[in-house]
């Protein structure tokens, strides 16, 4: 039981609750996890810039506040801290026990950002991968706090809605043009799919790439579209804006999720696919290894290579994974040849995510730590 936390105004989650990005998903998952085991926490939308989805407005609007609570959990990254701190403290000081819960995608956490984290009382790490990087440079306590991944669909959509072939085995890859191509590695996914097609040229299989952020990087999108045209109708690019429910239905309509990333802070796409009971082919490196196991996924071997200048911010002395594309292609072959194998792996994945990474399980972990904090206040 919580020692001093007695009502739902005692915890405030600060972040970007309406943003259709990873940090938005981050704060939404924390909100739902705490709500599952405790009173509904308060929410503070830092900049109020996003056009909120109607379902999110219904869910979150009643929790919105403009004042701090005894415990405040900031869902922001290290590079945001100074600007957020100045913005939020302009009219009133955000006092209380302040926690920061950042994401980061490389093994070494930038030292200049770590200095900003010292403004907080403690640091939460969404994955062990992030935790290890933070512990090397942070003066404040760093605690591993895994994220929840639980899927609830508002409505069910079919393959026809997305224009996908009904009878094909569909592989799905998520690519955000606002991120760095070298990290997400779309070329690697196309490389593996090409290798698969070389071995199974007549297979009824299809690759779908869901692309976000086209307006931010039209040249990169045009290059991707040209590359896809070489595959003669075996690849579909979906770049329309979609609701969260649409994206999760796209996952549900696929047969397998693939992520040949070079590094992930957490791996939301892989986690959501597994929660929906889909086999995931993914690089066996970084944040996704918190929830990927030998029995519940198809982990792709890799070797570590240096991150080169221009490939990602703060690349100095960083390394990330170069996945084994032959092995990824072999997994594709195995799944198309034996779809029942994929369904078995997917069912194990779903049960694994339900048992360890649902809102209640994650909320109980939060509650335990918040009880300890509360006892100190």
Helix ranges, 91-148 (H)? 111-117, 128-137
Which homologous superfamily does the CATH classification assign to the domain defined by 159-356?
Answer: Glycogen Phosphorylase B; (3.40.50.2000)
pLDDT score of 2: 39
Instruction: Average the pLDDT over 28-38 and give the result.
Output: 94
pLDDT score of 20: 80
pLDDT score of 119: 93
Instruction: Average the pLDDT over 288-295 and give the result.
Output: 98
Condensed to tens digits (0 to 9), the pLDDT of residues 186-236 reads 999 999 999 999 999 999 999 999 999 899 899 999 999 998 988 878 999
Distance CA 364, CA 33 (A): 8
Contact call for residues 354 and 275 (beta carbons, < 8 A): yes
Condensed to tens digits (0 to 9), the pLDDT of residues 233-275 reads 899 999 998 988 999 999 999 999 999 999 999 999 999 999 9
DSSP secondary structure letters along 206-260: EEEEEEE-GGG-HHHHHHHHHHHHTTTTSEEEE-S---HHHHHHHHHH-SEEEE-
Contact call for residues 373 and 69 (beta carbons, < 8 A): no
Contact call for residues 325 and 195 (beta carbons, < 8 A): yes
CATH of 11-148+358-376, one of 2.40.50.140, 3.40.50.300, 3.90.1150.10, 3.40.50.11930: 3.40.50.11930
Residues contacting residue 42 through CB under 8 Å, at least 6 positions apart? 8, 9, 11, 12, 13, 63, 64, 65, 69
pLDDT score of 9: 56
Tokens (6 digits) for 49:
């810039």
Domains 11-148+358-376 and 159-356 share a fold: yes
Condensed to tens digits (0 to 9), the pLDDT of residues 84-100 reads 999 888 777 888 999 99
Distance CA 358, CA 248 (A): 16
The pairing of strands 71-74 and 11-15 is parallel
pLDDT score of 178: 86
Distance CA 215, CA 134 (A): 33
Distance CA 320, CA 359 (A): 30
Question: Residue 1's pLDDT band (boundaries 50, 70, 90)?
Answer: very low
Condensed to tens digits (0 to 9), the pLDDT of residues 124-165 reads 999 999 999 999 999 999 999 999 999 999 899 999 999 999
Where do the structural domains in the chain lie, given as residue ranges? Answer: 11-148+358-376, 159-356
163: left (phi over 0), alpha (psi -120 to 50) or beta: left
Tokens (6 digits) for 278:
């889909």
Condensed to tens digits (0 to 9), the pLDDT of residues 338-365 reads 999 999 999 999 999 999 999 999 999 9
Does the pLDDT at position 51 exceed 80?
no
Q: Assign 78 to helix, strand or coil.
A: helix
Q: Assign 345 to helix, strand or coil.
A: helix
């Amino acid at each position: 039981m919580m020692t001093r936390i007695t009502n739902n105004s005692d915890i405030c989650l600060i972040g970007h609750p309406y943003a259709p990005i990873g940090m938005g998903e981050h704060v939404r998952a924390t909100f739902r996890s705490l709500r599952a085991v405790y009173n509904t926490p308060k929410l503070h939308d830092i900049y109020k810039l996003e056009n909120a989805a109607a379902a999110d407005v219904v869910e979150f609007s009643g929790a919105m506040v403009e004042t701090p609570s005894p415990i405040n959990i900031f869902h922001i990254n290290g590079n945001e801290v100074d600007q957020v701190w100045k913005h939020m403290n302009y009219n009133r000081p955000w006092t209380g026990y302040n926690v920061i819960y950042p994401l980061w995608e490389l093994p070494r956490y930038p030292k200049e950002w770590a200095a900003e984290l010292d403004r907080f009382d403690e640091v939460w790490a969404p994955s062990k991968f992030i935790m290890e990087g933070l512990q090397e440079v942070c003066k404040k306590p760093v605690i591993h706090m895994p994220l929840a991944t639980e899927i609830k669909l508002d409505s069910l959509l079919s393959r026809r809605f997305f224009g996908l072939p009904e009878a094909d085995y569909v592989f799905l890859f998520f690519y955000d043009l606002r991120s760095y191509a070298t990290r997400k590695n779309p070329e690697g996914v196309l490389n593996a799919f090409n290798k698969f097609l070389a071995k199974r040229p007549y297979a009824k299989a299809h690759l779908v790439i869901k692309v976000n952020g086209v307006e931010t990087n039209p040249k990169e999108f045009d290059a991707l579209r040209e590359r896809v045209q070489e595959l003669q109708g075996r690849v579909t690019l979906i770049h329309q804006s979609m609701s969260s429910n649409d994206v999760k239905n796209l996952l549900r309509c696929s047969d397998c999720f693939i992520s040949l990333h070079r590094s992930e802070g957490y791996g939301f796409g892989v986690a959501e696919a597994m929660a929906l009971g889909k086999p995931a082919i993914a690089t066996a490196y970084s944040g996704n290894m918190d929830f990927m196991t030998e029995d519940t996924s198809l982990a792709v071997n890799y070797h570590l290579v240096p991150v080169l200048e221009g490939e990602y911010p703060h690349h100095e002395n960083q390394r990330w994974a170069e996945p084994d594309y032959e092995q990824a292609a072999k997994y594709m072959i195995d799944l198309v040849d034996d779809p029942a194998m994929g369904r078995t792996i997917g069912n194990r994945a779903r049960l694994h995510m339900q048992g360890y990474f649902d809102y209640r399980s994650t909320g109980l972990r939060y509650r335990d730590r918040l009880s300890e904090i509360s006892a100190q206040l």
